[in-house]
Amino acid sequence: MNDFWEKSFQKNRKMWGEAPSESAVIVANDFMQQGYKEILIPGCGYGRNAKPFVDLNMNVTGIEISQTAIDIASKVVLDSFNIFKANVMDMPFDEKKYEGIFCYSLLHLLGLEERLNLINKCYSQLTRGGTMIFVTLSINDYQYGKGKEISKNRFLSRHNVELYFHNATTIDEEFSEFGLIGAKEIFEPIKNSKMRNHQSLWMVTCKKG
């Protein structure tokens, strides 16, 4: 997977454009209103979804496996933020606790064991009263059912990437032990595609009591 993403960023650079996702903007503003300062973004890519948090003067830490993506991030996010070059499966990389964690379009790239592992590790790095939000593919997305079926709700995309699609039941099964307080399906605009207007995603919110 490391080699895949490194080659992808080398070839496509800012493959999703520079503008942050609408989800990132919404969550950044929500975290600001809650007074959060310390934010963790696993799988931060080239930083486009870190920018809204940095722009609101939060202290952002990212985790990213691709060195090329990290290099691009320094140009996308002009105010620097700390990025650990590493696989999210190996976190934590510090003893710090974070008030907010935002994980965008990463969970659906993982198998069940890896998903549960990531959710657990993120929850472990939350402060008490902190919030973690995951944005991940829904079974109602246009990509669902496309490509070879690997297992239930998991398919091999045309880009040779394994994608898992959640429904309400699987969200509850995977997050209920980690402070799940809400999950809603959202339409995320695709700003750099002529083929599709949006993705169908879940926004899952957990809070540590």
Domains and CATH numbers, the chain: 2-207 (3.40.50.150)
Residue 27 near residue 201 (C-beta atoms within 8 A):
no
The per-residue pLDDT for 159 is 82
3-state secondary structure (DSSP) of residue 25: helix
In Å, what is the CA distance from 33 to each residue of 19, 26, 103, 161? 22, 11, 19, 36
**In tens digits, what is the pLDDT along the chain, a chain of 209 residues?**
557 767 776 776 675 667 899 999 999 999 999 999 999 999 998 899 999 999 999 999 999 999 999 988 888 776 778 999 999 999 998 899 999 999 999 999 999 999 999 999 999 999 999 999 999 999 999 999 999 999 999 999 988 899 999 999 999 999 999 999 999 999 998 866 556 678 999 999 999 98
Give, in order, the Cα–Cα distances in Å from 84 to each of 3, 62, 174, 200. 17, 6, 26, 29
* pLDDT value at residue 19: 85
Contacts of 120 (CB under 8 A, 6+ apart): 178
- Helix residue spans in the chain (DSSP H): 2-12, 22-33, 51-55, 67-76, 112-124, 168-175
- What b/e sequence results for 182-200 when a residue is b if at least 16 CB atoms lie within 10 Å of its CB, and e otherwise? ebebeebebeeeeeeeebb
The torsion defined by the Cα of 47, 50, 52 and 53, in degrees rounded to 10, comes to: -150
Neighbours of 18 (CB within 10 A): 15
To the question of pTM greater than 0.85 for the whole model, the response is yes
